[in-house]
């Protein structure tokens, strides 16, 4: 009987692995959503008063990216190519040697472009509260904390580490990027039930018919920028993480403006990233720097949905 049970368990595991190999993208996205959304439940319940505020429950919000995109990428890379699959992702994380201009772009040009998105809005420049020495000292510290403790490190291992290469191989650069952008945006959907996305008790319906659409379009536009940077840096996940951290940390600059159009919506960021994405699409004719001839030919399972 024991031998029969073991055989049955082995068959079930083998069938599941085979199913995941046939549908790597669906399997990856499903696990990313499932693991992260489960981790977000305590945060939502805490914000709405069903569990104690803050503390351990707030920690779940920061762990959800590791529980979702990172864990899903680890599982799927091992399923698809064994240890070699995960080693390739680690290699891309360690890919620091790229042209210095890309460091300037993600660390300096991106904040300048995002700032321009604020300055073009009526009333926004006049609401600027000024820079303080404390802000200038704390900004790089916050950047490092956000890089390691927020979305940049955890999310990019999955979105750009596992998903993007397969999406580009199957659908092409721009269509694959737009698809990834949509999946990436809606992965954040439970966040709109928390104060992290201006949700929680007392939030109005404008959160759904104004803030959510703005957020989705904004993230899709960001995905275009990420793909362009990724393709032009040899698939460096480190640079993608820096880009992610640069965008997220800019929220502290945004807080220096008190105009409601800046503080209550992501419209300034939407304007900046959409303009940048459109320029990139036009300049690259939609190729976003993708050169499929530089890739190894994927196995059939690698390009399945």
Over residues 138-147, the mean pLDDT reads 96
What 3-state DSSP class applies to 122? coil
Predicted local confidence at residue 9, as pLDDT: 57
pTM here is: 0.91
Q: Which residue's entry shows tokens 């995960």?
A: 86
Comparing 44-58, 120-134, 225-239, 267-281, the range with the smallest average pLDDT is 44-58
Predicted local confidence at residue 293, as pLDDT: 64
Confidence tier at 51 by pLDDT (50, 70, 90): confident
- The angle that helices 212-232 and 237-249 make with each other, rounded to 10 degrees, is 150
Cα dihedral sign for 230, 23, 176, 73? negative
Predicted local confidence at residue 202, as pLDDT: 76
- Domain span at 251: 2-303
Predicted local confidence at residue 98, as pLDDT: 96
172 pLDDT above the threshold of 60:
yes
Are residues 277 and 225 in contact, defined by beta-carbon separation less than 8 angstroms? yes
Predicted local confidence at residue 10, as pLDDT: 64
pLDDT tens column, 178-229: 999 999 999 999 999 888 888 878 777 777 788 999 999 999 999 999 999 9
27 pLDDT above the threshold of 50:
yes
Q: How many CB atoms lie within 10 A of CB 240?
A: 27
Q: Quick one: which of 265, 256, 245 has its CA closest to 145?
A: 245
Are residues 259 and 119 in contact, defined by beta-carbon separation less than 8 angstroms? no
Predicted local confidence at residue 213, as pLDDT: 95
| Cα–Cα distances in angstroms (integers) from residue 286 to residues 15, 25, 159, 175, 204, in the given order | 38, 22, 20, 9, 38
pLDDT tens column, 54-110: 777 778 888 899 999 999 999 999 999 999 999 999 999 999 999 999 999 999 999
CA distance linking residue 80 with residue 29, whole number of Å: 15
Tell me the two tokens of residue 105: 């772009």
H or E, element range at 36: helix 24-47
Q: Which residue did the predictor score with more confidence, 6 or 61?
A: 61
* Structural domain count of the chain: 1
Comparing 56-70, 83-97, 158-172, 278-292, the range with the smallest average pLDDT is 56-70
Helix-strand-coil split of the chain, %, nearest 5: 80, 0, 20
pLDDT tens column, 31-41: 999 999 999 99
Predicted local confidence at residue 113, as pLDDT: 98
Confidence tier at 295 by pLDDT (50, 70, 90): low
Dump the DSSP string for 101-167.
Answer: HHHHIIIIIHHHHHHHHHHTSTTTGGGB----HHHHHHHHHHHHHHHHHSHHHHHHHHIIIIIHHHH
Q: Which residues touch 5 (CB under 8 Å, ≥6 apart)?
A: none
Tell me the two tokens of residue 228: 């362009």
Q: Quick one: which of 150, 138, 145 has its CA closest to 61?
A: 150
Predicted local confidence at residue 298, as pLDDT: 41
CA distance linking residue 24 with residue 77, whole number of Å: 9
297 pLDDT above the threshold of 70:
no
- Percentage of residues in the chain having pLDDT higher than 70: 92
Over residues 3-7, the mean pLDDT reads 47
Predicted local confidence at residue 238, as pLDDT: 98
CA distance linking residue 142 with residue 250, whole number of Å: 10
Confidence tier at 303 by pLDDT (50, 70, 90): very low
Largest CA distance in the chain: 77
Tell me the two tokens of residue 298: 């994927």
Predicted local confidence at residue 58, as pLDDT: 75
**Phi, psi for residue 128 in degrees, rounded to 5:** -65, 130
* Burial track 283-294 (b if 16+ CB lie within 10 A, e otherwise): ebeebbebeeee
Tell me the two tokens of residue 85: 């699959």
Q: Quick one: which of 153, 180, 152, 155 has its CA closest to 165?
A: 180
């Amino acid at each position: 009987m024991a031998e029969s049970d073991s055989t049955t368990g082995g068959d079930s595991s083998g069938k599941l692995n085979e199913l995941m190999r046939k549908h790597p993208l669906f399997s990856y996205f499903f696990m990313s959503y499932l693991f992260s959304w489960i981790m977000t439940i305590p945060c939502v319940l805490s914000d709405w008063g069903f569990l104690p505020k803050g503390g351990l429950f707030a920690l779940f919000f920061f762990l959800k990216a590791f529980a979702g995109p990172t864990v899903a990428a680890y599982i799927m890379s091992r399923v698809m190519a064994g240890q070699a699959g995960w080693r390739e992702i680690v290699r891309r994380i360690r890919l620091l040697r790229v042209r210095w201009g890309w460091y300037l772009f993600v660390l300096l040009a991106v904040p300048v472009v995002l700032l321009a998105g604020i300055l073009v809005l009526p009333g926004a420049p006049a609401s600027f509260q000024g820079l303080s020495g404390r802000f200038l000292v704390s900004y790089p510290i916050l950047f490092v904390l956000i890089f390691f403790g927020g979305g940049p490190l955890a999310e990019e291992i999955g979105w750009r580490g596992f998903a993007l290469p397969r999406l580009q191989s199957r659908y092409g650069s721009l269509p694959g990027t737009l698809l990834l952008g949509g999946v990436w945006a809606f992965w954040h959907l439970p966040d709109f039930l928390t104060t992290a996305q201006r949700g929680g008790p007392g939030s109005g319906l404008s959160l759904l018919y104004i803030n959510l659409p703005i957020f989705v379009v904004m993230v899709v536009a960001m995905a275009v920028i990420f793909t362009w940077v990724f393709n032009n840096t040899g698939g460096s996940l480190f640079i993608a993480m820096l880009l992610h951290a640069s965008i997220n940390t800019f929220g502290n600059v945004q807080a220096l403006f008190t105009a409601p159009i800046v503080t209550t919506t992501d419209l300034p960021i939407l304007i900046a990233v959409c303009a940048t994405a459109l320029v990139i699409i036009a300049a690259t004719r939609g190729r976003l720097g993708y050169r499929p001839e530089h890739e190894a030919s994927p196995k059939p399972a690698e390009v399945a949905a």
